[in-house]
Structure 1
Amino acid sequence: MRIIKQPSNNNNHHFAFPLEADGIIYVRQSSLAQQQNNIHSFEMQTEQFVQYFRAKGCTGNITIIADDEAMSGTLEIYERPGMSRMVSLIEREGGVRLGWIGAVHVNRLTRDPWLITPGSLMKICHEHNVWVATLRMDFNFKDDYCQRVFMLEAQESARHLEWMKIVLGGGKKAASARGYYDSRPVAPGYIVDRTDLKRKKYMVYPPHAEVTLWLARRFVELDFSIHYLCQEIDAMPYLYPAFEDWVDKKTISRFELKPIEDGPYAGCYKPTRSGIESILTNPANIGWWIPIEGEIVESNHPGILPEDIFWLIFKKISTHDLRGNRVKPERVTRYGKVDGLLKKRLENEKGWPFYAMYSAGVPCYKAMQYRGLQYAHGLVVPVEDIDPVFQERLFFHLRNWTGCDDWEEQISLKEQAEINRRQQIQKLINQARSDREETLDILTDRTIPKTAQMKVDLANKCKGLEERIAKFERDFEITPGQELADEKIQYRIYTLLPDLLEKWERLHFEEQLLFVNSLVHRVVVNHPAPSYLSMEIHWKRADWGVDITYNIRRDFTHTTNWSEEDDLLLAELYPTTTTLECF
């Protein structure tokens, strides 16, 4: 146990808690389950905590910030909206109106194992004369003793979390980090070697490995066409045969694919399109192991695929890199090449997306959805049947648009929040770099005696800080959210009115598409009758609501036309009855 003795000459008693100043109570529970079930914990952190400060003698206004409910204390300051708002208030009003922030324990504020978050928070509070108050102690960071105790409690909070992770699954993660099997689904082509129960690893299962190798080679032969590959597999009774009797039941139960349940091929396996893509892009096929946490382990087990073939396929179709970051595959062309204003927003009543493409030489929207290994095809609608109707409603709203009185102010506030986020990240980068340099100096200073374990600990700390710095730098480069981007484009549209309406046809299609996507959430097309469509336009602007347009006549259709009786009935009911009631 580590004990920090309060010095006899401590001056903390000379600092009076700012009872008359305003304060902030910061509330956080770590998961959604805790938020829903630990009602008493929430009450203790809010109403009862307010009473605690009132009983203490606090007379100022008390603000409760509970934006970070169900969020982990290991997240960075800028990743928690409540914490970000609190830091902004400290920087803006600390020492003037705001005098203290309260949390039931230091672990509500942070569980950062590298102490970057508590160090940064302590520095901000120190610079702006803001106290941190917990049930155990009031921290005034002008006092050295308070600084040391706060950092110690922050460190112990992080250690306790790590200890709980070890108790609840740390052994599995530790084994996974060394390349041993960790109970996740078993990749096709492998089974688990359980000869040594403490060191379980993948081993090649030839009956399935041969299939995986054929799958990769055939995909290349088909010029990387996942569509044609799925067609071939769909014509087969199964892809992977049932496991042989000697394979252990645990491996079979953890196999990645679901078996065919009935018929002569029960027990065999036939993956869906997404399953095939997952198999082809799984780095386990070249002997690489991606642990639950930690770095990739190369040459961990025997590979099935030649590396050149694997990486060729991976770059063509993988939607994520090996660290889980989303990427665009080389071969993907999204939404089609036909110019349709709604090519990224149109869907049918089932939620199937429409793709812009040619059908019989006509620019069309075509609803398609993958079902297993094949596309299911839906409604085909000419672009000229949809876009003019949509454009009419768009222009109606643009002509009657009054904008917002405080639009510039709202955008300015959101832009300032983004600036604050980047500033917070930059401060964390600076703090982490400083900590790394200090740790590295201690590690390399030969005048400071160090045991072998101390050297290992210092080296691990440097490594951890370098990883955090890399994460901060990646997050620093992240662009603002789509909502803010849409609002900026909407403001740009508003400033161009009314000239925009007159010059719309002269705009490049890409710019028209940019404007439409900033205003439209989705457009749903229904097909209530052979030659008629209905359309629901869900606008992103709440004041525009939802437009519902019935009875869009289709000029291009391969279906049967209505009879004369149908047309007469429609003419009679049209003025007072909706399409849904008619049909």
Structure 2
Amino acid sequence: MSQPKAFKLRQVEDRRNNYTGVLPEIDKTRTTAVLVRQSKSGADTTMAESRETQLGLQEYSKLLYGNAEPQVELYDEGAGVSGQKRIDQRAELDRLYRDMHKGIIGTIVLAREDRIFRNKHMDQVGVFTKLAEEKRIKVIVPPISSAASDERTKVYDFTSYRDLVAFQDKMREAYGYIAGHVAYMLQCKQNKADKGGYDGRLLPPGLAVKGQKQNQVIVIYEPWAQEMRKLALRAQALDWNIGKLNREVDRMAYLFPEIPDEDREKYLIKTCIHRIPGVGYKPRSDQTLRDLFTNEMLIGWWQPDDDKPDVIVDNHPAVLDYALFAEGYARLKGYTLEGELIDNYRGKTRIQETRETPPDLLFHGKLILTPPSPDETTFISSYEQIYEQKSTLNYLGYRKRNNQMTKRRWCCIPGNAFDTIVIERLLALENADITMSDKVKTTLDQVYNQQSEDFVSIPQQIQGIKTQLTENAKKRMKTSVDDPMYEMLEEEKHDLMQRQKSLESKKEKLGMVDSPEEIEQLHSLLGNFESVWPTFDLDQRQRAFSLLINRIEIEVVSPHWIRLSIDWLDAVCPRLDVAYVWKASPSRGEKFSEEEKEIIRQHYPRTNYMEILELLPGRTWQSIQGQTALMGIKREVVADPGVCVGICYRDMVPKMDGEYLFRDYETTIEYIKKAISNTAKSAAPLYALWVLPETMDGLEGIVERYLGGKDCLSQAS
């Protein structure tokens, strides 16, 4: 007979207390932090017990205080947060790190050590443990289940070398899960791909997956396959000119039809093509069609590994005819499917040049271009223009509709002239306020001290990476290049340098002050600009304005006018500084449309020139005359547009709402005349009219002039 067993009766508890035995000692004068994290997106519902277990550590943390008033703070990262991310990339961990630095935290409680990091090169771990040791912060990992009742509570006191090493071992073990289990799963996935099985990759339009798991097969999805065949034939008709094809597709409402619900249940369609809800699917990148026509899956080929040339032929049904695909592949790639070079390569006709040095522009990467509408995006790049063997740098603005692939040039602004306008404005503001340099220094000192708390992890991470790079260099010097370890050290160096670059970029984007020395350098510049500025290199000049300006933005108002808005550091200028900048060379217009030509036919012979300008608001009288010469249409009555010969109606009434840019027609024309007289296409391509004076004292005069019916612009430069 088996040993008798007596049942012990108890009531259901929301969460049992598995923390038996003596509780560890903590600093009860400081807060205990509970960090919660789940790696997988949606794990807070699919693995709810894991989350509940971690949240339950708050009750355990309260027990640690005994009879004292508990101080427990939850740092909940939620689900879908990778432990491989840096401290500053995880908002709640970054908040915890800042509180550690402030001395608020005395203890950190975790369900497992890997909740805090899965860090390959230990750079994040080192930064964390160094601060924990300095602030005497303990990490506690208690048993979390009745099944773990025989496990002891782990307490890491980083002032103890043994505890530090034990924690570091756990961190290596945490990343080992990525390098071990996850790597194993990826290898299994690769094994499936090697046999021609579907491995979860994106599919080109016309292909879909049917079946479950190991029984999945790639099949034709005919509604999209039909469109893909039409598209390929159209590309062939255009001689594989992808630029022209992109523009044609841009004019379409959609390229591939919406997928019915019954098809979604039957097939798995993984695609990179953007979905327009209720309409269909359409690419958003100008590279997409080129990639599709060189995707060998469209002819039934399967490449198990992108890094290897091996392909499985006839792995699945083909969407495109082999001859058609092979022709397009060769024209777009410059070589055949067999790797033979061809002469009639239809590759990219415009090759982007990569600069070895950054362009000599103060606001490269900083200048913002206002989108003309909510459904468009804009961006600015640098553009080098060479004319008569003379090189000039420009800020080149582009615009792109959100559901379109192609972007188009929108504005071109002479770079040096634009930078000079901002520099001269700074000097004017400084001349109007002799205390500016001291106020800037005081403000930046305060910013530096505040950033030391708000973004403490970033400089410490950078310093930690520099230390590791030094150690890496020492190891490489002692290791032969033929040793397999050398390649691993090279990989570690590359990864660390990428992290360092990313952190430096983030620091720059946040406008973080490097050091008190940098503040002193800027103070000396503002106190003696004329002599100090020439000694600055490009990086120092860009850095100076990065600290002095919070945001600099331009808005295209009309072909000739742009609106410049500068949000200076408050110590420089406490209000938004706005100028209207006249460009001697207007934005390049499109060809005259058929609708515009019809307006010319009807109105050019006898209609008043101002009415014609209003009917063709983006055209100057000069450009209209050029078009009439091509069309053979002559003016029957005399027109004397005067200054209006070189401007368009939008230059006077930008919003086409009857409101002139500067209050009325006469005032607007006067400012345009002034701008024209102060500009020349090469010598002085820009002229700025500042809306407000340099000092607040001058605002009273502006109000009086405005009430008196006079102009309200402060000055021009």
TM range (shorter): 0.5 to 0.7
Match status 1:54 vs 2:40: no
State how far apart, in whole Å, the 2-side matches of 1:280 and 1:192 are. Answer: 20
Paired residue for 1:378, among 410, 422, 445? 410
> In the alignment, is the contact (CA less than 8 A) between 1:349 and 1:524 conserved in 2?
no
Structure 1 residue ranges without an equivalent (≥5): 1-12, 222-227, 243-247, 318-328, 431-462
Q: Report the 3-state secondary structure (helix = DSSP H, G, I; strand = E; otherwise coil) of the residue aligned with 2:215.
A: coil
State how far apart, in whole Å, the 1-side matches of 2:422 and 2:291 are. Answer: 38
TM-score by length of 2: 0.47
> In the alignment, is the contact (CA less than 8 A) between 1:339 and 1:356 conserved in 2?
no
Aligned residue number for residue 445 of structure 1: none
State how far apart, in whole Å, the 2-side matches of 1:503 and 1:251 are. Answer: 67
- C-alpha change, 1:282 and 1:429, in structure 2 (3 Å) is farther
TM-score by length of 1: 0.56
> In the alignment, is the contact (CA less than 8 A) between 2:552 and 2:565 conserved in 1?
yes
State how far apart, in whole Å, the 2-side matches of 1:196 and 1:568 are. Answer: 73
Shift of 1:299: 1.8
Q: Report the 3-state secondary structure (helix = DSSP H, G, I; strand = E; otherwise coil) of the residue aligned with 1:405.
A: helix
Shift of 1:393: 3.6
> In the alignment, is the contact (CA less than 8 A) between 2:123 and 2:461 conserved in 1?
no
In the alignment, residue 405 of structure 1 is paired with which amino acid? D
- C-alpha change, 1:16 and 1:340, in structure 2 (3 Å) is closer
Aligned residue number for residue 567 of structure 1: 666
**Higher Cα Rg, which structure:** 2
Paired residue for 1:488, among 489, 514, 531? 514
Shift of 1:423: 5.4
Shift of 1:138: 1.9
Match status 1:415 vs 2:459: yes
State how far apart, in whole Å, the 2-side matches of 1:466 and 1:132 are. Answer: 37
In the alignment, residue 153 of structure 2 is paired with which amino acid? D
Structure 2 residue ranges without an equivalent (≥5): 1-19, 145-151, 258-262, 314-324, 475-483, 587-646, 653-659, 672-690, 693-701, 713-717
RMSD: 7.0
> In the alignment, is the contact (CA less than 8 A) between 1:19 and 1:58 conserved in 2?
no
Shift of 1:230: 0.6
State how far apart, in whole Å, the 2-side matches of 1:387 and 1:126 are. Answer: 48
State how far apart, in whole Å, the 2-side matches of 1:151 and 1:511 are. Answer: 43
- C-alpha change, 1:43 and 1:542, in structure 2 (3 Å) is farther
| 1:45-444 map, 5 Å | 48-55=59-66, 64=73, 66=75, 68=77, 70=79, 72=81, 74-75=83-84, 100-106=107-113, 108-109=115-116, 130=138, 132-134=140-142, 136=144, 137-140=152-155, 175=192, 180-187=197-204, 198=215, 200=217, 229-231=242-244, 234=247, 254=270, 256-257=272-273, 273-279=286-292, 289=303, 298-302=309-313, 305=329, 309=335, 331-333=352-354, 340-344=361-365, 345-350=367-372, 351-357=377-383, 365-371=395-401, 372=404, 374-381=406-413, 383=415, 386-395=418-427, 400-401=436-437, 402-403=440-441, 404-405=444-445, 415-420=459-464
State how far apart, in whole Å, the 1-side matches of 2:430 and 2:530 are. Answer: 8
> In the alignment, is the contact (CA less than 8 A) between 1:29 and 1:70 conserved in 2?
yes
- C-alpha change, 1:427 and 1:181, in structure 2 (3 Å) is farther
- C-alpha change, 1:209 and 1:157, in structure 2 (3 Å) is same
Q: Report the 3-state secondary structure (helix = DSSP H, G, I; strand = E; otherwise coil) of the residue aligned with 1:488.
A: coil
Paired residue for 1:523, among 552, 555, 558? 552
State how far apart, in whole Å, the 1-side matches of 2:359 and 2:154 are. Answer: 63
> In the alignment, is the contact (CA less than 8 A) between 1:342 and 1:387 conserved in 2?
yes
State how far apart, in whole Å, the 1-side matches of 2:123 and 2:537 are. Answer: 48
Shift of 1:523: 2.8
> In the alignment, is the contact (CA less than 8 A) between 1:179 and 1:201 conserved in 2?
no
State how far apart, in whole Å, the 2-side matches of 1:338 and 1:157 are. Answer: 43
In the alignment, residue 84 of structure 2 is paired with which amino acid? L
State how far apart, in whole Å, the 1-side matches of 2:556 and 2:280 are. Answer: 41
State how far apart, in whole Å, the 2-side matches of 1:115 and 1:380 are. Answer: 47
Shift of 1:549: 0.8
Q: Report the 3-state secondary structure (helix = DSSP H, G, I; strand = E; otherwise coil) of the residue aligned with 1:54.
A: coil
Equivalent residue pairs, number: 492
Aligned residue number for residue 643 of structure 2: none
